[in-house]
Amino acid sequence: MDVQPLLIAGEWRAARESAESFRAIDPSSGEAIGPTFPVSGESDLQAALTSACAVADELAGAPPSRIADFLDDYAQAIDDDAATLVALAHAETALPADTRLAKVELPRTSRQLRLAAQAVRSFAWTQPVIDTAAGLRAHYAPLHKPVLIFGPNNFPLAFNAVAGSDFASAIAARNPVIAKAHPSHPATSQRLAELAHRALLKAGLPAASVQMLYHFDQHLGLRLARDPRLGAIGFTGSRSGGLALKAAADQAGIPAYMEMSSINPVFLLPGALAERGAAMAQEFFASCTTGSGQFCTNPGLVVVPEDAAGDAFVSTALALFHAAPPGVLFSRGVLEQLDQAVGALRDWGATCLVGGASAGPGYRYRPTLLQISARSFLKHPAKLQREAFGPASLLVRTRDAGEMLAVAASLEGNLTGTLYGASDGSDDMVPLAQVLRPRVGRLIANRMPTGVAVSAAMNHGGPYPSTSHPGFTAVGMPGAIRRFAALHCYDNVDDALLPPELRDRNPGDVARQVDGRWRNDDLGPGRSPAP
């Protein structure tokens, strides 16, 4: 069987050295499907990096309008190719074709690209600042270096290395992208790369601005991550993989934005349980099992009082979990890691109430609920915060508000933290919110954490170890773009040498901070704000 080509240096070409190859696996059956793809060697990685570096300055100097046109055209191409993309992603991931891929994930993918285009046209991501008295001007600008992006397994479209938020952000900041596709969905990634390549050429941007490799050895990846020619790294995946990449990047001083692991704690307060416990159990079940629980914001730890309402919640949830069919996981690796995580939680004192086992055919796992008392949890909190990526969650039962606060105080950094309180305000959520706030990126009230809205106000990030840096978001324009930017300052520089958004004449209703005030007008004579 012919091995599929790579996108390197603006062309589709055969791998230079590929000792290995692979095919996608249908997770529902465990059978190999589709064409054969190469596992790249060192020469392919170097070729991709060299060619990306060669166009970095040209792309950085490209008119913003051309970047925006590319993003818009690419978004439209994805929408136009929806049927093919959905079919490929469904075959490779077993995610529901209609309810998940066609109606949610694909529209989200194209919307992210369009929002990035909007941020480019408005210069919103550049955050221009002007100090007329000091003669200083500053903004966020391209890195003039490539960005290396690692795509995850769980979002074949919306987080794909060649189409997702990391990709859109890096390109919006006018940086070339080296996309490392995930081997769980290579054909989907290939199709997206084809569409991106065509849109690049249509927009008149350097063809080598987007490059894609399907897979490569971990050691080669670490070597690439510490190459000083890189400008930044974006990664979504496991904690072990993210930390290894970050350690490598740190050696070369390369900014590495890692979205890694999170158990997304949920706290159910007594009044809320008494008021609507059955409905909350249904919400929890749906959140934990949708997509077989393979979300970064899956509710992996739920804190439930030891009272009658709490017992009723657990009973209802157990019935729902018991009746649910096994969830299909993305790969054998995901299945094995989930089984190991559940086993580790049991080893540290958790009791498995339902599930806790794989089931055939393919890569399936029974929806799983474990339980432990807060007293036991607090003896080994670090060990019992292990992420069980899949349709699994740990219930922590508390005797009183003090234990609930103690559990919250013991938590590592997470992407989200959720509080459910009574609608009449009888539950005092303030103490818990105060404890959770510095431990989570997004604080949620009265709804399950699964799902990340594509919004400028979204923070899909959080304190370590959920991410490598608490000050960034992987979703939401323009904030996500600034990860892949450099802060440039101009001191007493003539107007003609300044970027458009820092010149005296406003390029078009751009919001600029001038002498401490946000304005969108031109600067008057003598570089002072217009009256």
Q: Which domains are present in the chain? A: 33-260+475-481 (3.40.605.10), 266-445 (3.40.309.10)
- String of DSSP letters for 84-129: HHHHHHHHHH---IIIIIIIIIHHHHHHHHHHHHHHHHHTGGG--E
Quick one: CA torsion of 363, 105, 90, 415, rounded to 10 degrees? -10
Determine the distance from the C-alpha atom of residue 167 to the mean position of all C-alpha atoms in its chain, rounded to a whole number: 11
| Spans in the chain with pLDDT lower than 50 | 528-531
Q: Where are the beta strands (DSSP E) in 290-367?
A: 301-305, 327-328, 351-354, 358-359, 364-365
Q: What is the pLDDT of residue 528?
A: 45
Active site residue 259: yes
* % of residues, the chain, pLDDT over 90: 97
Reference 278, options 307, 317, 323; nearest CA is: 317
Q: What is the pLDDT of residue 19?
A: 74
Q: What is the pLDDT of residue 17?
A: 79
Q: Which of 259, 275, 283, 387 is catalytic?
A: 259
pTM for the model? 0.95
The one-letter amino acid code at 280 reads M
Distances (CA, A) of 13 to 23, 40, 213, 302: 18, 12, 11, 49
Asked if residues 199 and 184 have their Cβ atoms less than 8 Å apart, the reply is no
Q: What is the pLDDT of residue 451?
A: 87
Q: Which two tokens stand for residue 233?
A: 């790294």
Active site residue 296: yes
Q: What is the pLDDT of residues 511-522, one digit of tens each?
A: 999 999 999 999
Q: Which of 275, 283, 296, 387 is catalytic?
A: 296
